Amino acid sequence: MQAFDIDLFVIGGGSGGVRAARMAAQRGARVVLAESGGTAGLGGTCVNVGCIPKKLYSYAAHYAEAFEEAHGYGWDAAAPKLDWLKLKENRRSEISRLNAVYQKLLVGSGVQVINGNARLIDGHTVETTTHTDGMAATQRFSARHILLATGGRPQVPEFPGNEHVLTSNDIFFIEPFPRRLLVVGGGYIACEFASIFNGLGASVTQLYRGAQVLRGFDDDVRNFVATEVIKKGVDLRLNSDVASIERVTEGLLVNLRGGGSVIVDAVLYATGRVPNVHGLGLEDAGVAQGSDGSVLVDVAYRSNVPSIFAVGDMTSRVQLTPVALGEAMVVVDQLFGPAAGKAPRSMSYDFIPTAVFTHPSIGTVGFAEADARREFGDISIYRSEFKALKHTLSGSSERTLMKLVVDNASDRVVGLHMVGADAGEIVQGFAVAMKAGATKAIFDSTIGIHPTAAEEFVTMRDPVVTTQ
């Protein structure tokens, strides 16, 4: 039997990579993890330039709205003023704390952490490059197994003036605060940042080349949230796109396809992400890739090279942090056995809940209505739209949408969607029930918590009449 330096080499210190390295080391495996961003890169996109700082900025954006709404509850105060530098510094401090936590967890588990780049030489060999005092040093490791977990990166299309744009990796650090912001894109990242910066006080224009934002979500959700964000002040322009950008005295002149232009302080492009595979040596190791560069894996996350595995965004499956964590645990249990007394993990992509932190937010799990009709045929739709109790005094015109999709043959609730305050928090609990196969009859027999928005999901008795 061939001897190896280590049992598992993990390339990438994001959520999936860190989880796999820690858990494998706790099983007794010899583990090395390489992260090109060093300690400051641990946690990956989610911790550093993704869901964590984005949610913090979303919280920040809600405060101005909350101050305004407080007048209806008898509170009088001067208009709040955003200290952008303070927000950025506090965010930086919190992210640094999390980076250090990840470092401590890895080292405490016995993982050797390398702050440098790593590339494949072959199916069992990894070469790392580190830099100290301007000097580069390389080292080679032989590994029984290799796990790729380098995530994804934003992609900006080619067009005149694209050097002037920011991506979601950059927007957290922008200085000064952009009083006029153009957001290009219609996915959840674009929609979230449009809401966030609108809430923080920027004048936000959002362009999307399609007919409606949030492609892939339920149509009722898409239309409803678009109406709500427009009410809150986002200038959402559909069927619109950028032709070119140039810097002028007044800022950035953005020329639009079909005519017209806008002048802004900054342009954020959130038009898609691609697998982060550049420089990994996939070709040298013979790892098969998809047309978008993603690593092709089987149901066990094994590539065509038996010793090399991949999880997370670089496989172009479901690009969510909890999914990467789940995939990582499947790999660990497969290679090193499950935790004592536990069955080996498996990963199902059915009924994965997700949230979009627009204002108001979205929570969703299961099938959109159109997808459910294709999958099940005979379905019933339950839908409710209302003003939340909070806003009866707040003065806000914000409304809430709740929707259930039911397979009539089994009575199972196969889709659940919400637009409104705390949608993600509410939908998470219902996701457990749906994963367990809850029927509409079970929903109907459940007593609601009153007065809450969530109780609406268990009090919708009559299906709506729909036209197919």
The region of weakest confidence among 71-75, 246-250, 369-373, 464-468 is 464-468
What mean pLDDT is predicted for residues 337-360? 95
Domains of the chain, CATH where assigned: 6-153+275-336 (3.50.50.60), 156-271 (3.50.50.60), 354-458 (3.30.390.30)
Average pLDDT along the chain: 96
12-68 pLDDT, tens digit each: 999 999 999 999 999 999 999 999 999 999 999 999 999 999 999 999 999 999 999
**467 or 175, which is more confident?**
175
pLDDT grade for 133, boundaries at 50, 70 and 90: confident
284-330 pLDDT, tens digit each: 999 999 999 999 999 999 999 999 999 999 998 899 999 999 999 99
Phi first, then psi: give them for residue 152, nearest 5 degrees: -130, 180
Q: Give the separation between CA 260 and CA 114, rounded to whole angstroms.
A: 51
Position 95 scores a pLDDT of 98
Position 463 scores a pLDDT of 97
Does residue 259 register a pLDDT over 80?
yes
Position 467 scores a pLDDT of 61
226-239 pLDDT, tens digit each: 999 999 999 999 99
Position 79 scores a pLDDT of 82
Position 181 scores a pLDDT of 98
Cite the active site residues.
450
pLDDT grade for 404, boundaries at 50, 70 and 90: very high
